[in-house]
Amino acid sequence: MTISTSDIATTQMHSGRPNSIPRPEYPRPDRDRSPHWVNLNGLWELAADGQLYDITVPFAWESEASGVNRHWLEHGIYSRSVAAPTDWEGARIVLCFGAVHHHAIVRIDGDVVGEHRGGYDSFEYDVTPHLTPGTEAELTVEVYAPADKRQFPHGKQRSIPRDDYDGVAFTPTSGIWQTVWLEARGGTYARSVVLRGDSLTGIDVTVDLGGDDPAGAVVDVSILESHETLRLVADGGRATGRIELEAPRPWSPESPHLYEVEVVVSNGDGRRPDRLVATVGLRRFEVNGEQLFLNESRFYVRGVLDQGYWPDTGLTAPSLHDLQADIDLARDLGYNLIRKHLKFEEPLWLHEADRTGMLVWAEPACTSRFSPASIQAFEAQLPAMVERDGNHPSIVIWSLYNEEWGLDWDIAGSPARTEAAARAYDVLRGLDATRPIVENSGWSHVKSDLVDWHYYEPDLAEWRRAVAQLAAGERESFPVRLGHDFVVDKSLYSSEQFARRGVPIINSEYGEGFTSLERAWHLRWETQELRRHDRFAGYVYTELADIEHEAAGLLTTDRRTKDWGGCIPSDVNADTILVIDLVPAQAGADIEPPQERCVFDLRVSHHGPEPIVGRIHATWIAPGAPVHQRPEQSDSVSNEVQAQPFELSNPVSIEAPARPDPGRLLLWLETSAGETLARSFLDAAQVEPPNRRGARPGELVARTPASRAEVRP
């Protein structure tokens, strides 16, 4: 049985499931050809292990949404009937795949039209010789998805045999897992369009051509909003040029202006020209010493890690709304950047980031074992990553390897692994010279534009010490738990030759706590210690949402908020925050209830464009009371505090009255006009020693933690 295009368009029931098109939206709004396309999502037939299944594309065969729900299936053949519309006569017909994991062989009526390896990058084939408009043909996609994934990029997808990092790996996403579609293009067409706006004054254009006569085609480029135009003549199938803009409008999170660029390709032979509309922004993100600059203004990264997994559907978002909503959720939590972890996310998601002004730190999936084959497979995905996603102004940082995954956690001990990391940097730099690159995120930097570090520390006193020492350059290494019985010291640097000064430093993974209350508590206190040190260029919290067994998210796996114990993440991640000179005792009990008046020292970390002046207020409220509503009056007010942009202020003291019973001390920074600029709080409650009753002798020793709050009576 095969399924035709007309069958797909209906909404009748088939095998108990509605036969409507899932994920019906055009998948490339950043390179728009939507007037002439056919969505091939919906019901296909899957032959696997001697059985036939009805499978719903684009959901992985591991998912319930696919209708198959098979795990560790390593081989399957998808099939369905396709027909190009009759009015596509004379056009080139291109078959496009968003992503197929991992190895795909594509056939039409039994003829191989292409073969692709790589589970995350998009690919396409010109199938004009194989499809006659108005005539049905059988499309098959044979997929190999080995259980042993260690030698090719698979990111957080679980492997058998297991990866070293199996404890943070999840259910695989195998087979077709992004949209499949047909496009009609002109006889000679734009195969790729590269736009760059990092000059801030104009748009650099490169168009690579395919089809009938790419060598001498004429390419007309127009800015739709301002009607500036450029005519190019292809040289050897490529046309390059630049459009200077009379009144350039930069792209930024505050003003995410996108230019729509129309590209029309013609041969002068009277045949239908090829047309698409691509988008780009005028945006420059660069390193200047130890600081980052966005459009020539200093910028501080306040990011969150997002792995792009959803319940049941894995790496595939169940709907366009679900895909786009994660960006709004991250913004509501106060973040200005999302580190999309070990995954090329859909262009629809990147376009939404472009449209709404969310910055993106993008990175490919890693392998997990070092070998010549795995290095080749890792590097092979980089050209496709830059070609597909490089136009997006939202992407401001590229990463490569993550924590030496695929390098056996051993850069420092292996010249060959060191060379692989450095070579990956060089390959990516040759593909894109407009963005900072991190060659090995987290540890052991070899050749990188940023020094980023991943550090998880449950002891807040030790966190405070370590962060201060790393900021001062007094310390370069930190402990990393690689297994329940395996802790190593990882360094920021792989060698003495890596510069210790002059490169921006970012913590790109942190966060602790077992319960949601503890995680929110660590978020508050760990983030303020990162903000205490002006040398750092930003941070990325781990993570946005839970995934399967990994409950580290600020949100649940279905994106519901958790009990944050009064913490408001958007306050923690604001431009302006309060930094309290105190190491808290435990979650829910930052300090003991003060039996007499006490004095706290606070500072202000401010990353706005202009200096600010205000006074810090304090008042006791009931235990657990909401902190977002400012009381009508305060118990005490500090002297005036001034904060310059990107400079931690001098300390200012504030006195709090005695509070013999539990309570919450609300703290806020207020201007003379009554505007609240920053907010924080302290919970006062009994600090209890950990309960270790019944522990085996010598295994765990109960102790009463001394109060580490720097409070002056």
DSSP 678: E
**Interhelix angle for 516-531 vs 460-472, to 10°?**
30
pLDDT at residue 710 greater than cutoff 80:
no
Contact predicate 242/282, CB 8 Å = no
Run of H or E including 606: strand 598-606
Q: Which of 174, 201, 196 lies closest to 71 in space, CA to CA?
A: 174
pLDDT at residue 148 greater than cutoff 50:
yes
Give me 424's structure tokens.
Answer: 């990956």
| pLDDT category of residue 434 using cuts at 50, 70 and 90 | very high
Which pTM value belongs to this model? 0.95
Sign of the CA dihedral with 547 first, then 553, 555, and 561 last: positive
Looking up tokens 């945006």 gives: 283
| pLDDT category of residue 20 using cuts at 50, 70 and 90 | confident
**How far, in Å, are 81, 105, 115, 185, 516 from residue 138 at the CA level?**
4, 14, 17, 21, 51
Q: What is the pLDDT of residue 709?
A: 37
Contact predicate 256/281, CB 8 Å = yes
CATH of region 579-684? 2.60.40.10
Contact predicate 125/114, CB 8 Å = yes
Q: What is the pLDDT of residue 167?
A: 93
**Greater pLDDT, 484 or 355:** 355
Sign of the CA dihedral with 370 first, then 376, 380, and 383 last: positive
| pLDDT category of residue 699 using cuts at 50, 70 and 90 | low
Arithmetic mean of pLDDT, 98-113:
98
Arithmetic mean of pLDDT, 120-126:
98
Arithmetic mean of pLDDT, 408-422:
94
**Strands 395-402 and 359-362, how do they pair?**
parallel
Q: Which of 78, 197, 228 lies closest to 140 in space, CA to CA?
A: 78
Distance, in Å, from the CA atom of 692 to the CA atom of 694, rounded to the nearest integer, reads 6
Distance, in Å, from the CA atom of 678 to the CA atom of 26, rounded to the nearest integer, reads 42
What are the residues whose beta carbons fall under 8 Å from the beta carbon of 132, sequence distance 6 or more? Answer: 84
Residue 320's Cα: distance from chain center in Å?
17
Looking up tokens 């795990």 gives: 71
Q: Cβ of 563: how many Cβ atoms within 10 Å?
A: 10
Please tell me whether the peptide bond between 549 and the residue prior to it is cis, using omega within 30 degrees of 0: no
- The domain segmentation of the chain, as residue ranges, is 5-184, 188-280, 285-568, 579-684
Contact predicate 184/128, CB 8 Å = no
The domains spanning 188-280 and 579-684 adopt the same CATH topology: yes
Distance, in Å, from the CA atom of 433 to the CA atom of 426, rounded to the nearest integer, reads 10
Q: Which of 603, 598, 594 lies closest to 685 in space, CA to CA?
A: 594
SS (H, E, C) 486-517: EEEEEECECCCCCCCCCCCEEEEECCCCCCHH
Distance, in Å, from the CA atom of 365 to the CA atom of 346, rounded to the nearest integer, reads 14
Over residues 472-497, the pLDDT tens digits come to 999 999 999 888 888 999 999 998 99
What's the full length of the chain, in residues?
713
Contact predicate 598/690, CB 8 Å = no
Q: What is the pLDDT of residue 11?
A: 31
Please tell me whether the peptide bond between 161 and the residue prior to it is cis, using omega within 30 degrees of 0: yes
| pLDDT category of residue 695 using cuts at 50, 70 and 90 | confident
Q: What is the pLDDT of residue 284?
A: 98
For 339-364, give the DSSP string.
EETTB---HHHHHHHHHHT-EEEEBP
For 285-568, give the CATH class: alpha beta
Q: What is the pLDDT of residue 632?
A: 83
**Greater pLDDT, 330 or 413:** 330
Classify residue 116 as exposed, middle or buried by CB count within 10 Å of its CB (0-12, 13-18, 19+).
buried
**Strands 437-441 and 395-402, how do they pair?**
parallel
Distance, in Å, from the CA atom of 151 to the CA atom of 169, rounded to the nearest integer, reads 16
Distance, in Å, from the CA atom of 552 to the CA atom of 655, rounded to the nearest integer, reads 36
pLDDT at residue 540 greater than cutoff 90:
yes
Over residues 194-228, the pLDDT tens digits come to 999 999 999 999 999 999 999 989 999 999 999 99
Looking up tokens 């706005």 gives: 608
Arithmetic mean of pLDDT, 150-160:
98
pLDDT at residue 82 greater than cutoff 70:
yes
| pLDDT category of residue 19 using cuts at 50, 70 and 90 | low
Question: Domain 188-280 falls in which CATH fold?
Answer: Immunoglobulin-like (2.60.40)
Contact predicate 122/384, CB 8 Å = yes
Q: What is the pLDDT of residue 267?
A: 79
Does residue 197 sit in helix, strand or coil?
A: coil
Distance, in Å, from the CA atom of 124 to the CA atom of 115, rounded to the nearest integer, reads 10
Q: What is the pLDDT of residue 629?
A: 86
DSSP 412: T
| pLDDT category of residue 704 using cuts at 50, 70 and 90 | very low
Give me 262's structure tokens.
Answer: 């129309």
Q: Cβ of 160: how many Cβ atoms within 10 Å?
A: 13
Does residue 570 sit in helix, strand or coil?
A: helix
Arithmetic mean of pLDDT, 231-247:
96
Dihedral over alpha carbons 77, 70, 324, 306 (to 10 degrees): -120
**How far, in Å, are 599, 619, 637, 680 from residue 667 at the CA level?**
13, 7, 10, 5
Distance, in Å, from the CA atom of 539 to the CA atom of 569, rounded to the nearest integer, reads 14
Distance, in Å, from the CA atom of 549 to the CA atom of 467, rounded to the nearest integer, reads 29
Q: What percent of the chain has pLDDT over 70?
A: 95
Q: Which of 149, 173, 23 lies closest to 100 in space, CA to CA?
A: 173
Distance, in Å, from the CA atom of 191 to the CA atom of 238, rounded to the nearest integer, reads 10
Q: What is the pLDDT of residue 706?
A: 35
| pLDDT category of residue 5 using cuts at 50, 70 and 90 | very low
Q: What is the pLDDT of residue 353?
A: 98
Run of H or E including 577: strand 576-580
Arithmetic mean of pLDDT, 412-422:
95
Residue 352 corresponds to which amino acid?
E
pLDDT at residue 309 greater than cutoff 60:
yes
Q: How high does pLDDT run on average in the chain? A: 94
Classify residue 458 as exposed, middle or buried by CB count within 10 Å of its CB (0-12, 13-18, 19+).
exposed
Q: Does domain 5-184 fall into CATH 3.40.640.10?
A: no
